[in-house]
Structure 1
Amino acid sequence: MSTDFQQAREALGVRLRELRLAAPGGRLTGPQLAKRLGWPHSKIYKLENGQQTATVEDLQAWAAGVDQPQVIDELEARLKGFESHIRSWRRQLAAGHRPVQDSWNVEVERSRIIHAWEEAVVPGMLQTADYARHIFLRYADLQNSVRDTDEAVRARMKRQEWLYRTGRKVHALMWEAALHALVCPPSVLASQLDRLMGMIGMDTVELGIIPLGASLKIPAANGFWILDDRLVIAEDWHAELWLDDADSVTTYLRVWDTLRESAVYGVDAHNVISAARRALNSH
Structure 2
Amino acid sequence: MSTDYQQARVALGARLRELRLGAPGGRLTASELARRLGWPNSKISKLELGNQTAASEDLRAYADAVGQPETYPELLARLRGFESHIRSWRRQTAGGNRPVQEAHNTAQANARTLRAWESSWIVGILQTPEYARSVLSRFADLHQSPRDIDDAVRARMKRRELLYASGRRYHIILWEPVLRALICPPSVLAAQLSHLSGVVGLETVELGIVPSGAPLKLPPGSGFWIYDDHQVVTETWHAELWIEDDDAVATYLRVWSTLRESAVYGTDAHNLINAARRSLNPG
Partner of 1:98: 98
1:112 CA drift (Å):
0.8
Shift of 1:248: 1.4
Which residues of 2 match residues 27-66 of structure 1 at below 5 A? none
Q: TM-score, normalised by structure 2?
A: 0.70
**Secondary structure at 1:229's aligned position in 2?**
coil
Matches of 2:238 and 2:254 in 1, distance apart?
24
For 2:155, the equivalent position in structure 1 comes to 155
Compute the displacement of 1:83 (Å).
9.9
Is it true that 1:110 corresponds to 2:110 in the alignment?
Answer: yes
SS in structure 1 at match of 2:281: helix
Q: Which residue number in structure 1 is paired with residue 202 of structure 2?
A: 202
State the number of aligned residues. 206
- Partners of 1:84 and 1:101 in 2: how far apart? 20
TM-score by length of 1: 0.70
- Distance in 2 between residues matched to 1:263 and 1:104, nearest whole Å: 26
Matched, 1:231 2:231: yes
- Give secondary structure in 2 for the equivalent of 1:182: coil
Q: Which SS does the other structure have where 1:85 is aligned? A: strand
Percent same amino acid at aligned positions? 61
In the other structure, the counterpart of 2:55 is none
Alpha-carbon contact 2:84-2:245 (below 8 Å) kept: no
Q: Determine the structure 1 residue equivalent to 2:248.
A: 248
CA spacing shift, 1:164–1:99, aligned 2, 3 Å: same
| Residue identity opposite 1:87 in structure 2 | R
Letter in 1 for 2:241: L
Gaps of 5+ in 1: 9-77
1:67-78 map, 5 Å: none
- The yes-or-no answer on 1:281 pairing with 2:281 is yes
Q: Is the 8 A contact 2:87 2:240 kept in 1?
A: yes
Unaligned runs of 5+ in 2: 9-77
Q: Give the counterpart letter for 2:279 in structure 1.
A: A
Match of 1:191 in 2: 191
- Counterparts of 1:135-146 in structure 2, within 5 Å, are 135-146=135-146
AA partner of residue 270 (structure 2): H
Deviation at 1:282, TM superposition (A): 2.3
Q: 1:246 offset after TM fit, Å? A: 1.1
**What is the identity, as a one-letter code, of the residue corresponding to 2:90?**
R
Residue type at the aligned position of 1:251: T
Q: CA RMSD in A?
A: 1.8
**Deviation per residue, 1:74-93 (Å, 9 max, x gap):** xxxx9xx7497111111111
Match of residue 181 from structure 1: 181
Quick one: which amino acid aligns to residue 88 of structure 2? Answer: S
The answer to whether the 8 Å contact 2:83/2:243 transfers is: no
2:176 and 2:210 in contact (8 A); partners too:
yes
Q: Secondary structure at the match of 1:167?
A: coil
Which residue number corresponds to residue 264 of structure 1? 264
Q: Matched residues in 2 for 1:225 and 1:116: separation?
A: 4
Separation of aligned partners in 2, 1:230 and 1:181: 31
Q: Is the 8 A contact 2:89 2:238 kept in 1?
A: yes
**2:222 touches 2:234 (CA, 8 Å); kept in 1?**
yes
SS in 2 for 1:222: coil
After superposing on structure 2, the runs of 4+ consecutive aligned residues of structure 1 that deviate more than 6 Å are: none
SS at the partner of 1:237?
coil
SS in 1 for 2:94: helix
Aligned residue for 1:115, secondary structure, equals strand
Q: Give the direction of change, closer, same or farther, for the CA distance of 1:164–1:140 in structure 2 (3 Å limit).
A: same
Match of 1:170 in 2: 170
Distance 2:84 2:257 in 1: 27
2:64 corresponds in structure 1 to: none
The CA distance in 2 between the partners of 1:227 and 1:156, in whole Å, is 18
